Amino acid sequence: MKVNGKVIVVSGAGSGIGRELVFELLKRGATVAAVDISAETLAATFELAGDARSRMSTHVVDIADREAVNALPDAVIAAHGAVDGIINNAGIIQKFVLFKDLPLADIERVMTINFYGTLYMTGAFLPHLLQRPEGHIANIASMGGFLPVPGQTIYGASKAAVKLYTEGLNSELQNTNVGVTIVFPGAIATNIALNSGVMTKEQLESGAGSGYKTTAADVAARTIVEGIEDKKYRVLVGSDAKMMDFLYRLMPERAAGIIYNQMKNLLPE
């Protein structure tokens, strides 16, 4: 689906990939409904959009709140007259701890935001997308959704759920006007650790968790939007995601071992 002239909803639009998705879509002529739980970061995205913000609305919504999500389509349509696509980008990671040490409340929070948030958003907007001449749904999973990342086991499980849910949705929407894309980013240069509450600003500024090659958020956004415009079934973002996708399908145990060796220094001893 070409995004020029279309109305696209982007969740997690206050920072990282979500913010860059807003800018990329606006640059290509789309109208954007930007959604985020943080009014402050959402306002910053709006200001940074410059003159293009005339084609943008902001909506402070917690995607884990089903009632708030169910009210969102009406708000978007009231602002822009229609909705043609959604990009379910909002998500959080977990603390870098073993499963046995992760509190149940943290597990439920990760699953609710990453999986149920995507489910709520898709369920709320799909009836409207089906009424449009052309519509599209893009769900952001993760490289951690198709291979195991120690210390992020629950995060990976939530993204694996997004993966299969999206693939099933794609099959169900064959022969309709709505296309579906699943996205697998690798390591992206964002502040997701800070936003997820697993790392402080001081830790980030000190370089904690650094040393891994990352893909810039604007490059990731461009790759995702190009995938939507090309109606791709799946999009791999970053050389790491592409390499590990190939290796995991070829030699899954070896691929898991490679990721373990890269991540083990982040695990508690």
Task: Tell me what pLDDT residue 265 has.
Answer: 83
Instruction: Provide, rounded to the nearest whole percent, the portion of the chain with pLDDT above 90.
Output: 87
Residue 34 counted as domain residue: yes
- How large is the average pLDDT for residues 222-237? 98
The string of pLDDT tens digits covering residues 96-128 is: 999 999 999 999 999 999 999 999 999 999 999
pLDDT at 222 over 60: yes
pTM of the model: 0.91
Residue 57's φ and ψ, nearest 5 degrees, are -125, 155
| Mean pLDDT score across all residues of the chain | 92
Number of domains in the chain: 1
Please list, in sequence order, all residues whose beta carbon lies within 8 angstroms of the beta carbon of residue 249, skipping any fewer than 6 positions away.
none
- How large is the average pLDDT for residues 31-40? 98
Residue 53 counted as domain residue: yes
Active site residue 260: no
Beta-strand runs (E) in the chain: 7-11, 31-36, 56-60, 85-88, 135-140, 178-185, 188-189, 215-216, 234-237
- How large is the average pLDDT for residues 8-33? 98
Please list, in sequence order, all residues whose beta carbon lies within 8 angstroms of the beta carbon of residue 227, skipping any fewer than 6 positions away.
138, 181, 183, 235
Task: Tell me what pLDDT residue 76 has.
Answer: 98
Task: Tell me what pLDDT residue 199 has.
Answer: 45
pLDDT band at 268 (very low <50, low <70, confident <90, very high): confident
Residue 2 counted as domain residue: no
- Domain extent at residue 179: 7-266
Task: Tell me what pLDDT residue 214 has.
Answer: 87
- How large is the average pLDDT for residues 156-162? 98
- How large is the average pLDDT for residues 204-211? 41
Q: Which of 116, 155, 165, 248 is catalytic?
A: 155
CATH of the domain at 191: 3.40.50.720
Task: Tell me what pLDDT residue 266 has.
Answer: 79
Closest CA to 145 of 36, 241, 263, 43: 241
pLDDT band at 93 (very low <50, low <70, confident <90, very high): very high
